[in-house]
Structure 1
């Protein structure tokens, strides 16, 4: 299985975990997903009233500089941990 195929499988598996992961775990997945699919964050941090946008930006910005392949591999590894913790 290629990295791309493993990544796409992990994305699907992350949607069917038996329990919803915590906020920190979801933020980690979001940041890795965006880095995997878009690359480095390409806009300024959203304004003070955009709470959700700020949380998403804050999850994505630490991944800046990771290659898409590194982010995909990290995403797959993170989903594997969540599968062990929450079941699928």
Structure 2
């Protein structure tokens, strides 16, 4: 069996650690256009930076406080929300 050395050197985009051959990586897009490799140790940091995971939704989820507080029918009829 012949062992060959890989000529591609991959590094984590967050910590810049050289990734081992066969090591599991997660792909993220920091700018929404280009994807980079992130090691499993920096996965949470990439999410904290607001990077979008490959295969994940491109838009952010709506925060609970920004949702409508009145039902749609109440908005149409002009009914005031009870405080």
Instruction: Pick the TM interval, shorter chain.
Output: under 0.3
Scaled by the length of structure 2, what TM-score is found? 0.23
Looking at both structures, which has the greater relative contact order when contacts are Cα pairs under 8 Å and sequence separation is at least 6? 1
- Point out the structure with max Rg over C-alpha: 2
Normalized per residue, the structure richer in strand is: 2
